[in-house]
Amino acid sequence: MLATLAGDVCLLLGLAVLLLPLLATELSRPRDGAWGGVVLLLGLVLVTSSDRLRGAPMLAVVCAGLLISRLTAEVAQSRWQRLSPEERQRLRSRERWSTSVQQLGTAFNTLISNTGQAVGSLRSSVPAAERPEGSSRSGKRWVRPEEPQPQEASDHDASGESESTEKNVVTTPANEDG
């Protein structure tokens, strides 16, 4: 029960750290995305293996959670103190947060749109039943090969030479004698 609760808190905290660069760029740092992913992974492990965490392992998880929360509070306080008074005032304003939430919504809508386009490009454009007759799935039409020209009744041409089809050797009457 306690591991599941700690895992849920870690999932929420990890999501907040991942969204920090989008919502409050003044407070974010370049590696916040990686740390948010690590906290999300910790939350997933705690939620999925909560039945195994009993006794001493659960005590270790609680102590680790307390240490992580203490370090998180110190980092947040340090980042807040490094802000200028104008940045602090702007972060406290309602307009700043409404703009950030609108930008987050726009980014989310763009993500959904791009995902839909990517999935749509993987599908076939026109079903095979609706394609015109003679076309294939790739849209290319089948072209019949040219028929070979009919041969004359004899294998001799006008000069009297005959062509052997087995070896593709041209023989003349002079060569046949000997």
Q: Using one digit for the tens of pLDDT, what is the confidence trace for 143-168?
A: 777 787 777 655 555 555 555 455 55
Residue range 117-139: mean pLDDT, rounded: 68
Residue 123: pLDDT band (50, 70, 90) is: confident
Query: What is the Cα–Cα distance from 8 to 4, expressed in whole angstroms?
Result: 6
Beta strand 170-171 with 162-163 is: antiparallel
Residue 160 tokens, joined = 């009297």
Cβ within 8 Å of residue 128, ≥6 positions away: 137
How many CB atoms neighbour CB 32 within 10 A? Answer: 16
- Summarised one tens digit per residue, pLDDT across range 9-67 is 999 999 999 988 888 888 888 888 899 999 999 999 989 988 888 888 888 888 988 89
Residue 162's φ and ψ, nearest 5 degrees, are -115, 150
Strand ranges inside the chain, DSSP E: 162-163, 170-171
Query: What is the Cα–Cα distance from 105 to 27, expressed in whole angstroms?
Result: 20
Q: Which pLDDT belongs to residue 84?
A: 93
- pLDDT over 90 at 178, yes or no: no
Query: What is the Cα–Cα distance from 60 to 43, expressed in whole angstroms?
Result: 15
Q: Are 14 and 39 in contact (CB under 8 A)?
A: yes
- pLDDT over 70 at 7, yes or no: yes
- Summarised one tens digit per residue, pLDDT across range 108-121 is 999 999 999 999 88
| List of long-range contacts for 30-34, beta carbons under 8 Å, 24+ apart | none
- pLDDT over 80 at 169, yes or no: no
* Percent of the chain clearing pLDDT 70 (strictly above): 74
